[in-house]
Structure 1
Amino acid sequence: MYTLYGSPTSRAARVMWMLEEIGALYEVIDAKPHCDAVLALNPSGKIPVLVDTEEGEDQAIFDSTAILLYLAEKHGQLTIPPGAPGRARMLSLVSFAVDDIEQPLWTMVKHGFTLPEEVRAPDAVRPACHYEFARAMQALEAYLGDGPYLMGDAFTVPDIIVGHLGGWAKATRFPVPEGRITDYMTRVRSRPAWRVVAKARAAA
């Protein structure tokens, strides 16, 4: 059993998606960043935080990417095993998703409403963010290759991250190139596991 602290409208959605994909039992505690419950588990106050109660001793894991990789390796799903061909590529794609695709989107979000008003500068950062995102989309198209997913026929952790970021891009009006990338986004976001999460997001 897992307990997830966060909101379906935050990066916790990625963890929910993963938990649905692997068929794990979990509950979601709707918690805001820096609330007492979150601070007790993660001193940075950031969400999501996942508490694993399956091993007899509660273990808190924080950072959505770390949580996804932890769950993938623990359950042996949506991952390439250590030492196996393709493992390095999968980890590289995880880093690419977070460093190249998420970074400009998150910067724009922070300057839109997360940072204190006195330090926001959305007009100043917007051109650079759009430039970086466009370059990331060019790379993503190349990484996709001929397979349905980033690792070919296998749906893995980087697909969850990139698929989730497709929603961020739409919400923040970052253009996603038509064709292979939009087809890919539709494909991953049509999976039954994501539909469960999307329903929870709509109700949040």
Structure 2
Amino acid sequence: MKSIYHRALGEQFHRLHPEMQKKYGLTSKQNLMVLGQGRMTEIRGTNPFIRPLLQIGVKDYLIFAERGKDVPFTLENYVYADEQGRETVSWIRRFFFPYAIRGFDAAMRYDEERKCIVDDLGKSGFVQTELDLHVTAQGGLYMESKAVNVDGILSMITPKTSVYEHYDEVEGAFRVHVHAEHPLLGTLLMYEGMVHTEFLPMTYKNIPERGVID
């Protein structure tokens, strides 16, 4: 059984660094989760005068207004079959600011008809993107959104997101860079940092609920 990323990349998958292949090659059959812990060197973006507007995305773990440097960070990836039997990978990101814990969540799956990764953003999945994936010369992975749907309607004025990740052999950790840019407002959110990762046993109790906002 191939992972959703292996299916999207095809033969390119084998050009990933071995540690990247291990992480992005996980399937639900292995019953493993990925736990990442690290720090984001810097989180920036969005004009300070309009940052309060981003608070509308906080409850859905879609976006947030806080900014800072050297911010503690965790990432949980769960690989499971969703209610429709589709192989799905959750991305549960938490940023630990001095006075708040913020989230940026997503669930990815491979769409057979569109032949690409589909990314449902936030806990609700209200915003959905299609992703282009490419392997870099250094064995890293670059993902970029190419189409955005809001509640099923194609939108041309929603943010586009790019994610770049590669394995740092000296540090024994993954380096990540995420950039969300709005066509009118510019950079909404950008963060980069280092994450140390371990693989842990997973049970069905770990699978996150989708479409439920506290």
Greater strand fraction, Structure 1 or Structure 2: 2
Same fold (TM over 0.5): no
Greater helix fraction, Structure 1 or Structure 2: 1
Q: Normalising by structure 1, what TM-score?
A: 0.22
Q: Normalising by structure 2, what TM-score?
A: 0.22
